[in-house]
Structure 1
Amino acid sequence: MYSMLKKIITEKDIYRQILLLEQLLNHSQLTAKELAKKIKTTERTVFSDLQLIRDYLPEHWELLSDKGGIRLLSQEQSLTNDIWEAFLPHSVSLQLLKQLFFTKELNVPQFLEETGVSYETLKRQRTKINRQLLPFKIKIRLTSTHAYLLGEESAIRIFYHRLLLPFTHNNYFFEDYSIHEEHYLHFLTKKLTDDLYVDTEQIFGICWFFINSIRIKAGCPINDFSFDTNDPLFILYAPLLKDLYKREGVYLQDEEIFFAFFCFIESWNYNNPLGKKVSDVLAKEYPLLLNKVQQTVQEIADELQLPDLSQTSLSTNLLLLVLKYVESPALSEQFQLEYQELLLQRREEYTILTEKSIALFNSLPQFAAIKDTTYFVNLFSLLGQQAIFATQPQTRTVFFVFQSEPAWKIFLQQELADLLGKRVNLVSLEASQLQPERMQTGDLIVSNIPLDVTTIPVNYISTIPTKNELSQLAELTSHSYL
């Protein structure tokens, strides 16, 4: 299940059953003893939970057990999300957050009657939920009569976007509230003409469209942040966004129209094939920003001796990144809360990217109000690494020292090369050709014969490798940007 949703489910029994289901979904068969060990509980509890799970399972799913173990089976075309939807209504904590999404103030006595829980139980659940809401700088205020969310409305919407993004299409949160996904798709495909075209994360944008529409209709307005009504990019898209929300009966004004615009540009992909009018606006209306990012990219290219770096999309990507912060430093700082796990995702070997990102950040007076540069630095680093690897892919050498029938050997070598991917340079050698001067830190030897090598690690495989051996090899040689 999605990590954010699991954090919100505060009931221990439901959380444990979800962990159990995850194990059954990820393994074809497990014994009760194995399940108990994996989710750190007793076999007796596993059997008890399995009985409850049988009662909850949706149509086309079944739980089977025999001497070999326990299996979770589904008919063809059955979706995993159907299982989670069957469990979600049983979580009081999730029901509380769901109802608070649709209203400014929740009637507590009515909620208690609908869910069948006591006020004391609800208070305990509220306390647990608030611990998870703390990073988003919001919390639930609860009295015996009413419940409501405390915090800036923009922060509340950012939290719900992170929570609901995986459920945008299956309508668990939206089945009682008619929001038309086709309106947003019409906006992307029909209103964004060739001149205004941008490539976007569709579900990301649709989810924002849903959330903004629902919260505005619930009487929960965005306010208290400044923005430039004369910003060229905002002027370009504001009329189209107003028309889009008007189709849902929502009339955007003041901060709401800018927030909708900011959500829209947050959905823009990088390495983006931009329409002519968009490209012209970026090139002509933000000369200072463009000059600074181009200068930064050139400095990185010179220091790393990568002249082709300036021919990549890095300058445009960094311009879009910087623009988000310039459009609204306050919102940019809040939007950092949505993907906090990205705060540490950069490789320290590229210290130049950290240095140049901080220098760029500090050179822009618009950023002075932003206290924490970590998120900007990491996004800058991710974009920089992507461009660097596009021009000069890093490869890891794997020496293939294998004794077998020649036809099988060459066939297996090709299969391994395809399995390990383009970042692995698979070099076939004889044992006598293994010379220390050819080996570097990070290299690996794959062999089916005993070798006396201490310089680099040796990973042994069978003459006909097993699935486990191949999986282990793929994991050992994986080389990510992070």
Structure 2
Amino acid sequence: MYSMLKKIITEKDIYRQILLLEQLLNHSQLTAKELAGKIGTTERTIFSDLQLIRSYLPESWEIDSDNNGIRLVSYEQSLTNELWEAFLPHSVSLQLIKQLFFNKELNVPRFLDDTGVSYETLKRQRTKINRQLQPFNIKIRLTATSAYLLGEESAIRIFYHRLLLPFTHNNYFFEDYSIHEEHYLYFLTKELIEDLAVDTEQIFGICWFFINSIRIKAGCQIDNFTFEANDPLFTLYAPFLKKLYEKEGVYLQDEEIFFAFFCFLESWNYNNPLGKDVNQILTNEYPQLREKAQQTVQEIADDLSLQVLLQTNLPINILLLLLKYAESPTLSKQFQLEYQELLVQRNQDYTILSEKSIELFNSLPQFSAIGDTTYFVNLFSLLSQQAIFTVQPYTRTVFFVFQGEPAWKTFLQQELADRLGKRVNLVSLEHSQLKDLKFQTDDLIVSNIPLDSLPVPVSYISTIPTKNELSQLTELTSHSYL
């Protein structure tokens, strides 16, 4: 299950049961004690929840148990989505959010009749949901007769995009609504070809296509915001986007057509093999942004003594990043709320990236309305580090001090090297060589013999390493941004 959806489910018992289902989906078999430990509840509650879950399961799924534990069994190549289709409707909070997506205003008495809950219960659920909606600057307004979402329509759609994106590919939230994924795919693969071609995140874009179509049909219009109607990239794609939405009976005008374009632009991948017309527009029509991007990459290359960086995709990637912000700073400020977990800087190894990204951001007056630079700095840093690692891969040295049969030692060293990946340089050493070695800060030793008084960590393995030892070694040597 996905994090945003779990936040919306405010019923403690249903939330716990979802966690239980997740554990059974992710493990072939678990005991009641293990399930209780992973979820943080009692074995008695586990058995009670399992009994309830059994009553919800579709015919092609069942929960089986024996002396070895409990397992979730599926038949006939059943899809996981079937579980959620049967289980999630029991969450009143989720049903409220779903109904508010399809309706500008919800009839509360009818909703109470359909769900069998009281108005007081619904009020409590609304209060809990609003805590999760607060970061998106929206909330549910509830009266005895009606309920509706309060906030800018663009912010409401951004929230729903974050909520529904993981379910777009299996059509879970859209099964009762006639929106055609094939129309969007035809738009990408048959209309935007050759000179107009652009590589995109397809599900990301399809989800926006669904959300925009549904909200417009529900009478929920995008709020006023300023945009440049003669923007070269916008005018290139606007006719195709209008034609796409017309297939769903939606006629885009004014802010709605630009919002649809902005959603499409947000789906563009980086390292993008752009069509001739697109590349020409990016090269010729945005000289200030292009110059700023090129200059910034040059300064980073000079600082790192890495001129080959100019030959990577970084200059065009930074230009695309700037363009996404420049097209509409107002929308950019809202869109960055969708992935708030990325608002943690991850460029500790390259302080130059933070400095140059902030300098670049502040050099463009049109970005001043955005205010907080954190999200931009992180995206800039991720794109830059990806380019740097392309030409100068990060490697960590792990010294292999192992005593054993020589053929086995050679074989094991190769197996460990393959397991640890190209970011790790596995170097074989004899015990006697350690005293003369000058270690670097992030070096590590892996050994099957006791080693004393060393300035770097030692990860011990058996002569025939166990699965736990290998997992611990992999974790110790992985270089993660998380």
TM range (shorter): over 0.9
Partner of 1:225: 225
**TM-score between both structures, scaled by the size of structure 2:** 0.98
Partner of 1:326: 326
Equivalences for residues 18-417 of structure 1 within 5 A: 18-75=18-75, 77-417=77-417
Question: Aligned to 1:435, what secondary structure does the other structure show?
Answer: helix
Structure 1 residue 219 displacement after superposition: 0.4
Provide Cα deviations, 1:94-132, integer angstroms capped at 9, x if missing partner.
000101101111111111111111111111101100000
Provide Cα deviations, 1:211-236, integer angstroms capped at 9, x if missing partner.
00000000001121000001001011
**TM-score between both structures, scaled by the size of structure 1:** 0.98
Which amino acid letter does the alignment assign opposite residue 40 of structure 1? G
Which amino acid letter does the alignment assign opposite residue 227 of structure 2? F
Contact 1:314 1:383 in 2 (8 A): yes
1:76/1:467 CA distance change after superposition, 3 Å:
farther
Which amino acid letter does the alignment assign opposite residue 373 of structure 1? T
1:77/1:434 CA distance change after superposition, 3 Å:
farther
Choose 34-43 or 266-275, whichever is displaced more. 34-43
Structure 1 residue 432 displacement after superposition: 1.4
Structure 1 residue 452 displacement after superposition: 2.4
User: Aligned residues: percent identity?
Assistant: 81
Structure 1 residue 345 displacement after superposition: 4.0
Contact 1:448 1:460 in 2 (8 A): yes
Question: Aligned to 2:63, what secondary structure does the other structure show?
Answer: strand
Which amino acid letter does the alignment assign opposite residue 472 of structure 1? Q
Structure 2 segments unaligned to the other structure (5+ residues): none
Partner of 1:429: 429
Structure 1 residue 42 displacement after superposition: 1.8
Contact 2:403 2:409 in 1 (8 A): yes
Partner of 2:9: 9
Question: Aligned to 2:225, what secondary structure does the other structure show?
Answer: coil
Which amino acid letter does the alignment assign opposite residue 446 of structure 1? V
Q: Work out whether 1:473 is the aligned partner of 2:478.
A: no
Question: Aligned to 1:30, what secondary structure does the other structure show?
Answer: coil
Contact 2:100 2:148 in 1 (8 A): yes
Which amino acid letter does the alignment assign opposite residue 171 of structure 2? N
Which amino acid letter does the alignment assign opposite residue 97 of structure 1? I
Contact 2:138 2:156 in 1 (8 A): yes
1:57/1:481 CA distance change after superposition, 3 Å:
same
Structure 1 residue 332 displacement after superposition: 0.2
- In structure 2, C-alpha distance between the alignment counterparts of 1:179 and 1:436, rounded to whole Å: 68
Structure 1 residue 395 displacement after superposition: 0.3
- In structure 1, C-alpha distance between the alignment counterparts of 2:95 and 2:441, rounded to whole Å: 53
- In structure 1, C-alpha distance between the alignment counterparts of 2:427 and 2:77, rounded to whole Å: 43
Which amino acid letter does the alignment assign opposite residue 198 of structure 2? V
Structure 1 residue 38 displacement after superposition: 2.1
Contact 2:345 2:377 in 1 (8 A): no
- In structure 1, C-alpha distance between the alignment counterparts of 2:480 and 2:310, rounded to whole Å: 23
Choose 328-337 or 42-51, whichever is displaced more. 42-51
Structure 1 residue 403 displacement after superposition: 1.9
- In structure 2, C-alpha distance between the alignment counterparts of 1:343 and 1:102, rounded to whole Å: 30
Provide Cα deviations, 1:229-258, integer angstroms capped at 9, x if missing partner.
010010110011011101111100000000
Which amino acid letter does the alignment assign opposite residue 451 of structure 2? L
Provide Cα deviations, 1:411-452, integer angstroms capped at 9, x if missing partner.
211111111010000111111122353321111111112222
Provide Cα deviations, 1:296-355, integer angstroms capped at 9, x if missing partner.
000000001111111111111111111111100000000011000000041223211111
Provide Cα deviations, 1:261-292, integer angstroms capped at 9, x if missing partner.
00001000001111111111000000111001
Contact 1:436 1:455 in 2 (8 A): no
- In structure 2, C-alpha distance between the alignment counterparts of 1:441 and 1:155, rounded to whole Å: 45
Contact 1:385 1:481 in 2 (8 A): no
Question: Aligned to 1:438, what secondary structure does the other structure show?
Answer: coil
Question: Aligned to 2:371, what secondary structure does the other structure show?
Answer: coil
Contact 2:126 2:140 in 1 (8 A): yes
Which amino acid letter does the alignment assign opposite residue 151 of structure 2? G
Contact 2:347 2:353 in 1 (8 A): no
- In structure 2, C-alpha distance between the alignment counterparts of 1:20 and 1:149, rounded to whole Å: 31
Which amino acid letter does the alignment assign opposite residue 251 of structure 1? Y
Contact 2:345 2:374 in 1 (8 A): no
- In structure 2, C-alpha distance between the alignment counterparts of 1:458 and 1:347, rounded to whole Å: 27
Contact 1:386 1:481 in 2 (8 A): no
Structure 1 residue 481 displacement after superposition: 4.8
Provide Cα deviations, 1:345-395, integer angstroms capped at 9, x if missing partner.
412232111110111111111112111111111111111111111111110
Provide Cα deviations, 1:153-190, integer angstroms capped at 9, x if missing partner.
00000000000001102222111110000000000000
Provide Cα deviations, 1:41-79, integer angstroms capped at 9, x if missing partner.
222211110101111122332212222222222236333
Question: Aligned to 2:480, what secondary structure does the other structure show?
Answer: coil
- In structure 2, C-alpha distance between the alignment counterparts of 1:436 and 1:62, rounded to whole Å: 61
What is the RMSD of the two structures over their aligned residues, measured on CA atoms? 1.2
